[in-house]
Amino acid sequence: MTEPTYAVIGAGPSGLAAARNLQRRGIAWTGYDLADDVGGLWNIDGPRSTVYESAHLISSKRTTEFAEFPMGDEVADYPSHRELLAYFRDFADHFDLRDGFELGTEVLRAEPSDGGWDVTVRSAAGERTVRHAGVVVANGTLSQPSEPTFAGSFDGEVLHTSRYKSASVLDGARVLIIGAGNSGCDIAVDAVHHAASVDISVRRGYYFVPKYLFGKPADTLNQGKPLPPRIKQAIDRRVLRVFTGDPVRFGFPAPDYKIYESHPIVNTLILHHLGHGDIRVRRDVERLDGDGVVFTDGERGDYDVVVLATGYRLHYPFLDPALLDWSGEGSAPDLYLNVFSKQDPGLFVVGMIEATGIGWQGRYEQA
Ligand SMILES: Cc1cc2nc3c(=O)[nH]c(=O)nc-3n(C[C@H](O)[C@H](O)[C@H](O)COP(=O)(O)OP(=O)(O)OC[C@H]3O[C@@H](n4cnc5c(N)ncnc54)[C@H](O)[C@@H]3O)c2cc1C
């Protein structure tokens, strides 16, 4: 009988990084992804993908790519999801990883038993349970929508960013985007060219970083020469003040936290469109109100579509949360170094991390 392999759940950047590192160490593995191709959320046709037609990297290619597989010089600084899918396909083919993945196969359950793991999967061929030596979870962090509930009710369409694919759904509509994170700002910029009006409702202030500073991708300015966080925060805050000015001028609240304590918004166009009056900033939502929305400052707007750019939550439905020391909803699993289960020596998570500058190489190093 052959020895059980390690299961890798997910064939996105983190799953590919895990598979590649297991391969490098000569550890046998079997990958599963419910999509029909590798690439994770960068495969816009994947069932758990949350990218949209206009999605591009917000970190530049050189700070994001796998170090052992750099993107070609012909690839743009901030490639589109299409180029990234091609990159991940090439990565999988170059390192001969593709045959190790069972695509179109969903992991339904992963359970420790008798010093190993039983992993139950479902594919077109049906359901089966496979014996594995351990499990590397790489199912992504940005697929399961976090949808707040609001007082009142809305007569128009409510759309979470996870279901937004193309700006054509906003044609002619009066649009409110709730949340000004990176997806919210991308969609606001998309909407300008399609919608009748575009408002964006914010609860807090943000730092806006243009994609280029001094003619270079902003995140490459001190690449290879990392500064202590406090010094970087102080310098970058001043640089941003010079380049983008004060977002409070455009109606945003002042941030009540320091830059990089939360992911900054990397978007050159949002302030441009605010400055042109194409987008209007609104306060937090107080309640939905039939054909409109009432904000906490007492103002009201009429809308046809509300886009919830309210983020994503961690989701490990195939695991007993106790194995991750996880109380579920709203919190994060308590893992050693964000990777190792404290409950089972055969359980690992790769990619449960969202930090500025980590890129896929950061996920590779976790792996
Ligand atoms: C619009 C947008 C822009 C972004 N820009 C950047 C950027 O500029 N730089 C950056 O570093 N990151 C960016 N990200 C973050 C992105 O999450 C990472 O780049 C990367 O995709 C994370 O890889 P992952 O493999 O951990 O997860 P994912 O890419 O989400 O892949 C997870 C895979 O697991 C599979 N899966 C899930 N559940 C199961 C299951 N039960 N069974 C089998 N398979 C399963 C899914 O089908 C998917 O293929 C962006 C994200 C979005 C949405």
Q: Which of 272, 275, 276, 301 is nearest to 286 (CA)?
A: 301
- pLDDT tens readout for residues 75-130: 999 999 999 999 999 999 999 999 999 999 999 999 999 999 999 999 999 999 99
Residues 158-184: pLDDT tens digits?
A: 999 999 999 999 999 999 999 999 999
Which residue of 139, 183, 268 sits with most ligand 1 atoms within 8 Å of its CB, as the best mutation to test the pocket? 139
Q: What are the φ/ψ torsions at residue 357 (nearest 5 degrees)?
A: 85, 0
Q: What is the pLDDT of residues 187-215, one digit of tens each?
A: 999 999 999 999 999 999 999 999 999 99
- What the block records as the tokens of 141 is 């962090």
| pLDDT of 1 over the 70 cut | no
Helix axis angle, 13-24 to 359-366, nearest 10° = 50
Nearest CA to ligand 1 atom 15: 142
Residue 317 pLDDT grade (very low, low, confident, very high; cuts 50, 70, 90): very high
* Cα gap 80→54, rounded to integer Å: 7
Question: pTM to 2 decimals?
Answer: 0.95
Q: By 3-state DSSP, what share of the chain in percent is helix, strand and coil, each rounded to 5?
A: 25, 25, 45
Least confident among 106-115, 217-226, 268-277, 315-324: 217-226
Cβ of 140 less than 6 Å from ligand 1? yes
Nearest protein Cα to ligand 1, atom 29: 40
Mean pLDDT of the residues in the chain: 95
* Nearest protein Cα to ligand 1, atom 38: 139
The rounded Å distance from CA 141 to ligand 1 centre is 7
